[in-house]
Structure 1
Amino acid sequence: MQPGLAERLIAPATMARLTELAVLDPALVVDDFTAPEAAAALRETEVIISSWGCPPLDAPVLAAAPALRAVVHAAGSVKHHVTEACWRRGLQVTSAAWANALPVAEYTVAAVFFANKQVLQLSSAYRRDREDFSPHADFGAIGNYRRTVGIVGASRIGRRVLELLRPYDLELLVHDPYLGPLQAAELGARAVDLDTLCATADVVSVHAPELPGTRHLISRERLAAMRDGATLVNTARGSLVDQDALTAELVAGRLNAVLDVTVPERLPADSPLYDLPNVLLTPHVAGSLGGELHRMAAAAADELARYAAGLPFAHPVLSSDIHLTA
């Protein structure tokens, strides 16, 4: 994993548990499998505990690790380091993507409620007008009661968002090409096509995977079809949205946005998105951060315990569904 990550990722109690479950050197954290200390360890390694920054486990690495049987990933997607050679080898793979999905869903739910309450606009107006500010006169139409929220993608995160929103007085819409009406109803939502969702929802929240076919899924036309004053929330990947078209809508003030991801991920300093009053911009922090990282390491320890007991992983990753772990 990345240098310096282990100290932030693995709480002392979890590290103690890992060393009880396996022969493990807490000081051996590598980001280069060709380094001498890594090469020596690989010869005996049965399980790799990985996280962000793990180099690819390609054929030469696997050849240097004859005893390797499993990869326990204490992060989200494994597609950056689990290669086709791993599947051919028959390695068992597990990921803490489910754990990383939880804070993303929580961020999204907070964004939905703040968007419908127009918190950004309220705060700006209050700061500007101070004693003359009148929320009842100027923001009489805001609120979350009976608002329509559209979820794009019934992914692990999208399903969790629906689960968290279900108890509230909202109308929930969902679009996913692999989700039927009955499955949507079980999630507390109504299945609709994407054009209908974009044209109907007060808040559109994007949770689809990043694939060639999902680039600009939220297109110029779909952005133009969104209601005046609607909010787009994107915690998935920046490429899913036509950012030039979105920027134009935001500069015009017709739409609002909560953007945790953009293209490029770190916007240039002159991007108008930094200063627009109708945009909440965050630097890809919806996922696990700070103490939330410890949940993923604890999940990895749970999976290692199952492996040590001869049990199947609770959260296996298969080659057929690897794209779903993003």
Structure 2
Amino acid sequence: MSRNIILVDPLPRTVDLIMEPSVKARLHQLGEVVISEDRQMGAEQVDELLPDTVLIFGQTDMPKERLDRAPKLKAIINVESNFMPNIDYQACVERGIWVITPASAFASPVAESSLAMALDLARGITKADRDFRQGVEEYGLAGNADTFRFAGASVGIIGFGDLGRQLRELIRPFRNHVRVFDPWLPNEIIERADCVPAGMDEVLSESQVVFVFASVTSENEGFIGAREFAMMKPGSAFLLMSRAAVVDFPAMIEAAASGHIRVATDVFPDEPVATDDPVRSAPGILLSAHRTGGTRDALYALGSMAVADAELIMKGLPPQLCRRADPATAARLKSKPVSVT
């Protein structure tokens, strides 16, 4: 008897984490669902199911030899949200297999937190709270000696994908002059968002607030280091909101500790962060435990977007909500699985 297997291998997510009951019910209507969420699905089980598998939800390794054993496969839906080098993307394109991710579900909450953290750095909100609790607070103008207004400040955005574009829309009321560096985009896309295309050195040296939303690639790992931090304006703000590997993390800590810039970061080279990691005690840094995107609504959006596009794909229609992996760009990405949700 012919089977239509839906292989669900979603770690580090779980089905309940990303799908409301109604969405799970829709998933089960698409075929015979086989789930492994307490551990990654074993190779033997995957290989056994592949001949009848039509959809894969998760980060299952799918090199060409496995694709050869999956003649019915229509889509691989990455619900972790990073395209990783464990899939033969070119072979998937050639065979008409969609490889997609609902990563844009995180854009709005990450942008919201990015703005909140930028306002905190600019106005010294967390610092003022800590000073007050220690009995060393200052009032009025004296309490604003090292602050600046975010409204009207020059803003730089490094990486203008879903996150960068969402942030740009969110800050419109603040009337910022916005420069964008993204070598993967034509100037026309940046200009349509009322931003100015610029080189990275210009973004760093001319901006009062710099947001980093860049993905990690084979070309940009650690590309923001001591040289780049040194060219930033004294007292300017640097917010790392995408992947830790795009910066030289020790150099970033040093730049903040020296008082040259103020820093906020939601991501770290190793997560969870060790209890004795120097970043925990470094001055000048606002810390967030990779939590800005992980809101309840965003996680449920991962599941609903994934299932909605799976329904379209099973009807022979193209997905509309998720982003497709392009072999030319996926080959350059150096993402690694997240260890926390």
Q: TM-score, normalised by structure 1?
A: 0.87
Superposed CA RMSD: 2.6
Residue 218 of structure 1 aligns to a residue whose secondary structure is coil
2:309 is aligned with 1:269: no
The answer to whether the Cα contact below 8 Å between 1:207 and 1:236 also exists between their aligned partners in 2 is yes
Q: What CA distance in whole angstroms lies between the structure 2 residues aligned with 1:158 and 1:220?
A: 24
Q: What CA distance in whole angstroms lies between the structure 1 residues aligned with 2:262 and 2:274?
A: 20
Q: Decide which of 42, 47, 55 is 2:50's aligned counterpart.
A: 42
Q: What CA distance in whole angstroms lies between the structure 2 residues aligned with 1:3 and 1:75?
A: 7
The alpha-carbon distance between structure 1 residues 24 and 177, as it changes in their structure 2 partners (threshold 3 A), is same
Structure 2: unaligned runs, 5 residues or longer: 1-9, 336-341
Residue 46 of structure 1 aligns to a residue whose secondary structure is strand
Residue 148 of structure 2 aligns to a residue whose secondary structure is coil
Name the counterpart of 1:198.
204
2:144 is aligned with 1:139: yes
Residue 129 of structure 1 aligns to a residue whose secondary structure is coil
The alpha-carbon distance between structure 1 residues 82 and 268, as it changes in their structure 2 partners (threshold 3 A), is same
The alpha-carbon distance between structure 1 residues 177 and 62, as it changes in their structure 2 partners (threshold 3 A), is closer
Q: Decide which of 73, 78, 83 is 1:68's aligned counterpart.
A: 73
**Relative to structure 2, which stretch is displaced further, 137-146 or 24-33?**
24-33
Name the counterpart of 1:5.
14
How many residues were matched structurally?
A: 320
Deviations 1:11-54 (A, max 9, x none): 1111012123x113365657235244x4443331111122xxx2
Q: What CA distance in whole angstroms lies between the structure 2 residues aligned with 1:159 and 1:194?
A: 17
Name the counterpart of 2:327.
319
Q: What CA distance in whole angstroms lies between the structure 1 residues aligned with 2:311 and 2:247?
A: 40
The answer to whether the Cα contact below 8 Å between 2:74 and 2:314 also exists between their aligned partners in 1 is no
The answer to whether the Cα contact below 8 Å between 1:144 and 1:169 also exists between their aligned partners in 2 is no
Q: What CA distance in whole angstroms lies between the structure 1 residues aligned with 2:116 and 2:204?
A: 20
Name the counterpart of 1:77.
82
- Give me the identity figure in percent: 22
The answer to whether the Cα contact below 8 Å between 2:256 and 2:283 also exists between their aligned partners in 1 is no
The answer to whether the Cα contact below 8 Å between 1:179 and 1:191 also exists between their aligned partners in 2 is no
Residue 55 of structure 2 aligns to which amino acid in structure 1?
A: V
The alpha-carbon distance between structure 1 residues 16 and 297, as it changes in their structure 2 partners (threshold 3 A), is same
The answer to whether the Cα contact below 8 Å between 1:171 and 1:189 also exists between their aligned partners in 2 is yes
Name the counterpart of 1:166.
172
Residue 170 of structure 1 aligns to a residue whose secondary structure is coil
Residue 223 of structure 1 aligns to which amino acid in structure 2?
A: F
**Relative to structure 2, which stretch is displaced further, 316-325 or 301-310?**
316-325
Name the counterpart of 1:286.
292
Alignment of 1:241-256 (within 5 A): 241-256=247-262
The answer to whether the Cα contact below 8 Å between 2:267 and 2:289 also exists between their aligned partners in 1 is yes
**Relative to structure 2, which stretch is displaced further, 238-247 or 220-229?**
238-247
Name the counterpart of 1:17.
26
Residue 107 of structure 1 aligns to a residue whose secondary structure is helix
Q: What CA distance in whole angstroms lies between the structure 2 residues aligned with 1:76 and 1:4?
A: 10
Q: Decide which of 301, 306, 309 is 1:300's aligned counterpart.
A: 306
Name the counterpart of 2:41.
32
Q: What CA distance in whole angstroms lies between the structure 1 residues aligned with 2:163 and 2:81?
A: 12
What's the offset of the Cα at 1:266? 4.2
Q: What CA distance in whole angstroms lies between the structure 2 residues aligned with 1:72 and 1:251?
A: 42
Q: Decide which of 150, 154, 175 is 2:156's aligned counterpart.
A: 150
Name the counterpart of 2:339.
none
